[in-house]
Structure 1
Amino acid sequence: MDVTYLGRVEYAPTFEAMKQFTASAANAPSDQLWICEHPGVFTLGLAGKPEHVLAAGDIPVVPTDRGGQVTYHGPGQVVAYPLIDLKSRAIFVKEYVHRLEEAAIRTLAHFGVTGHRLAGAPGIYVRLDDPFSHAMLTQRPQHRVPGSPPPQPDFTGLGKIAALGIKVSNHRAYHGLSLNVGMDLEPFSRINPCGYSNLTTVDLSTIGVSASCEDAAHELAKQLTRLLQG
């Protein structure tokens, strides 16, 4: 998988480039991993409801074809876009999501932070009172009766630090994963992040970890490359 560091790039043309690459991927020499930052932008997934954008102000809102609802991208956030053929790597979609989350967890661990999965809500979360604690969450995903409805997520004491949203077309995945490093978090207050009004969003800097976007980007790229080998 070829890794390309794009730097800070506008969201809309990057989204179009992902779609074009995926549509013509049969002629591509290899799968790709794009790592970048975006200027401030709200993006709406296929399940996104306009009412979850409370006050966009001067920040553009861009509809997309990824799963999920509304989120924010901005400077100080590392965004990873794996553009890969899941079938050739023998990775099913559910497993793919798990591996994206695992890459975020391992990247956080590199900086001494414990990331957690949460039942009923994709993404990675940290304890607000002790982001370095290894204790398991009571809200962690657990086995449930097949066919039973997913649990309502309980965000008590937690902050979201990594989000994901993907699109799969003809076994090829695009869109991906974002990790908050050192952002202006104010724009998250203008939306219901991922559709939840009671969800706190954090980054590494607000939980006391000093890390550059460059270091976080390279660590996340390393973890994704390892975990997506198939």
Structure 2
Amino acid sequence: MNQVRVRWLGQVEYQPVWRAMQHYTARRREQTLDEIWLLEHPPVYTLGVRGYSHRHGKDEGISYPVAGQGDEHIPVIQTDRGGLITYHGPGQLIAYVLVDLARKALSVRDLVTMLENAVISVLKQYGIHSKARADAPGVYVNEAKIASIGLRVKKFRSYHGLSLNVDMDLTPFQRINPCGYQGLKVTQLADLEVPLKIHEVAVPLLDSLLQQLNFDAIERVEHQLPRFEENLDDQIA
């Protein structure tokens, strides 16, 4: 099955979207459509499953936002994705990929590579040379991270995905070690002289994701999460 449903959600709080991803993944069946969700989040720090153990004393090199640093209003949420700590905020494009890996005969490493290649392809369209790193998933421009990747896979079905810095306030990244790497620099399209808005980047990123993931037919849904009072299979039409 090469069909995919694409949801453009706009700017939405992190927790409801996370719970919706979990619910969708838990309830999907063999014939349930894969989905890609494009969105932004209000300011939020998220901890991956590795970040939880680090935060509880297993790695003193990891930095976390604390009172007095000026960002007490930014929540810190423990999630179930892979990785450590990162920041999401307005001006950052999120693409969550809810994909049946078994149906597409993909490994988790395959999916990570495809997500990285999708971002690299988009940046190339804007004249930006970027690369992935074997030791740290994501996409980098001159060693500064411009896109992060974090996934969760249950029963060969993925959720979470990637974030691409477009035109945002990068200051909150200074209060953490992004993805656990002390001193890691971050960058964005706006700082690379590509002054675009989220919706302008969403179209080429979606096209690149469709190409990488071999999706050739799509259904688009605007500003609506899955309706869980219905059977997911009824939403395949």
Q: Which interval holds the TM-score relative to the shorter structure?
A: 0.7 to 0.9
Q: 1:199 aligns with which of 184, 189, 198?
A: 184
CA distance in 1, matches of 2:184, 2:163: 16
Q: 2:96 aligns with which of 60, 81, 101?
A: 81
Q: 2:115 aligns with which of 78, 100, 108?
A: 100
Partner of residue 2, structure 1: 5
CA distance in 2, matches of 1:222, 1:176: 16
CA distance in 2, matches of 1:172, 1:115: 28
Partner of residue 43, structure 2: 40
- Give SS of 1:52's match: coil
Q: 2:157 aligns with which of 172, 190, 213?
A: 172
Displacement over 3 Å in runs of 4+: none
Aligned residue runs from structure 1 range 176-195, under 5 A: 176-195=161-180
Across the aligned residues of Structure 1 and Structure 2, the Cα RMSD in angstroms comes to 1.4
CA distance in 2, matches of 1:110, 1:2: 25
CA distance in 1, matches of 2:169, 2:98: 28
What 5-or-longer segments of structure 1 have no aligned partner?
128-157
Distance 1:27 1:88, change over 3 A: closer
Aligned residue runs from structure 1 range 129-140, under 5 A: none
CA distance in 2, matches of 1:108, 1:210: 13
- 1:179-218 per-residue CA deviation (whole Å, 9 max, x = no partner) reads 0000000000111100112100110001211111101111
Matched, 1:18 2:17: no
CA distance in 2, matches of 1:31, 1:218: 18
- Give SS of 1:88's match: coil
CA distance in 2, matches of 1:197, 1:92: 29
What 5-or-longer segments of structure 2 have no aligned partner?
56-61, 216-237
CA distance in 1, matches of 2:106, 2:42: 32
CA distance in 1, matches of 2:30, 2:42: 31
- Give SS of 1:182's match: coil
The higher-RCO structure (CA 8 Å, 6+ apart) is 2
CA distance in 2, matches of 1:34, 1:61: 22
- Give SS of 1:200's match: coil
Matched, 1:53 2:56: no
- 1:148-172 per-residue CA deviation (whole Å, 9 max, x = no partner) reads xxxxxxxxxx210000000000010
TM-score where L is the length of structure 1: 0.84
AA at the equivalent of 1:126: V
CA distance in 1, matches of 2:77, 2:204: 28
CA distance in 2, matches of 1:119, 1:22: 28
Q: Identity across aligned pairs (percent)? A: 44
- Give SS of 1:53's match: coil
Contact 1:54 1:192 in 2 (8 A): no
Measured after TM superposition, the shift of residue 60 of structure 1 is: 0.2
Q: How many residues align?
A: 200
Partner of residue 134, structure 1: none
TM-score where L is the length of structure 2: 0.81
CA distance in 2, matches of 1:197, 1:54: 14
CA distance in 1, matches of 2:93, 2:203: 10
Distance 1:185 1:28, change over 3 A: farther
Measured after TM superposition, the shift of residue 118 of structure 1 is: 2.1
CA distance in 2, matches of 1:5, 1:33: 9
AA at the equivalent of 2:210: T
- Give SS of 1:197's match: coil
Measured after TM superposition, the shift of residue 27 of structure 1 is: 7.4
